[in-house]
Chain A
Amino acid sequence: MKKNSSLTVLFLVGLLLIACSKFPSNSCDVNKPCYTLAPDSLFVELQLTPQSDQDTIFVSFYEGNVDDGELLTTFTTSFDREYFYVPVRKRFSASARYKRGDNFYTAIDGQYISVKSSTNCEQTCFDWDERVLDLKLKIDEQE
């Protein structure tokens, strides 16, 4: 009984390892879009909490992290979206400073802009994740 239990556990662990490991895919889906050219740059979207006419948001955009990266640009805006065209395979981050009454709130987010490759119908295809920096102020969303 105990030997069977050990074998069962080993079998399940083995199944798990096989399921989680990556094997080369031999799939071919002709309807699936395939971008054969790897992009050098992509757009990054900064999502902000829209402001009234009197209030503006102070935004800073960095290559790297906010606390030790290179400041690329700063600007003020009252819109809910801003876009930057940035090179891939680099990390970018941003901060957005809001004023609420007497308090100042700075929302910070960052992301590594990556490009993934896969094979479809014996062709190398490139794909990328959603590139969004969420700088919306959550206390506004909870109210």
Chain B
Amino acid sequence: MIFNKEEGSKRKPATFTFVLALLSIACSSVHAQSFFIRNPLESMGAQPHLSISGEVYANTKDVLLDFGIGIDDVGYDYTARLNFAFRPYTKTVLTEIEEKEWRQYFERLYIISLDLEKRFNFILFGDNNRFGPYLASKFGYFLSDYRGMSKHPNQGFKIIPAAGLGIQFDHSTFSLGYLFLNNGTDDLNGMLQFKYAFTFYKTNN
């Protein structure tokens, strides 16, 4: 076989385009069967069910664990849960109380909150599985415990927004997002949020 270098180089883009077109047709036919876009604001009527969740918030300086129980409405795609978050270890924190005056404490942190979340699932795939972004907010009370102190400066009500992406299967929802936690210190500002939630309801299977 004689290979003409010039002819060969001209054929490469054409071949690549042809293969790409084939792939696109093949994938679109698959998508036509398994994926479709839905209106994220449409609902199937109120369908509230009991739901539990487990979450981890983490950044490079801190980790919090969170557990919740509440209601998941699979019709309107929202949840309302009562959550309890805590730092699973005692952390050394440094706080500037005045100019050039610093205090070092051993801190344990707890957060009791009402978590509200609205999902905007715009992709349906498989057997009623959903994917889409979510917006959430924690309405919580921070309780901190400093060893050796009776007063705890890091205490009070806070509203903490969060956003991310979630994938929802039959009873389980996995979410990955960002918690906009501004605690006034560098350590706790902004955390990644990993969440698993389980909803108790009867399926038609």
Contacts and interface: CB of A to CB of B under 8 A. Distances in A.
Q: Do the two chains bind? A: yes
Given A102-B100, A104-B101, A139-B94, A134 B149 contact: no
A107 B148 CA distance: 10
Contacts of B104: 105-108, 137-138
Given A104-B100, A138-B92, A67 B105 contact: no
Interface string B85-112: 0000000101000001111111000000
A108 B146 contact: yes
A67 B150 contact: yes
B5 interface: no
Contacts of B100: 102-104
Mostly, the A contact residues are strand
A139 B150 CA distance: 24
A143 to B, nearest CB: 13
Contacts of A102: 100
A128 B51 CA distance: 42
A109 B150 contact: no
Contacts of A109: 106, 147-148
Contacts of A67: 149-151
A107 B146 CA distance: 11
Mostly, the B contact residues are strand
Contacts of B105: 108
Interface in A103-124: 103-111
A13 to B, nearest CB: 13
Contacts of B151: 67-68
B201 to A, nearest CB: 11
B155 to A, nearest CB: 14
Given A134-B106, A139-B94, 10 more contacts: A66-B149, A67-B151, A68-B151, A104-B100, A106-B104, A108-B106, A109-B147, A109-B148, A110-B147, A111-B147
Interface of B: 92, 94, 100-106, 146-151, 202
Interface of A: 2, 64-68, 93-95, 102-111, 133-134, 137-139
9 contacts: A93-B147, A102-B100, A105-B102, A105-B104, A108-B104, A108-B105, A108-B106, A109-B147, A111-B147
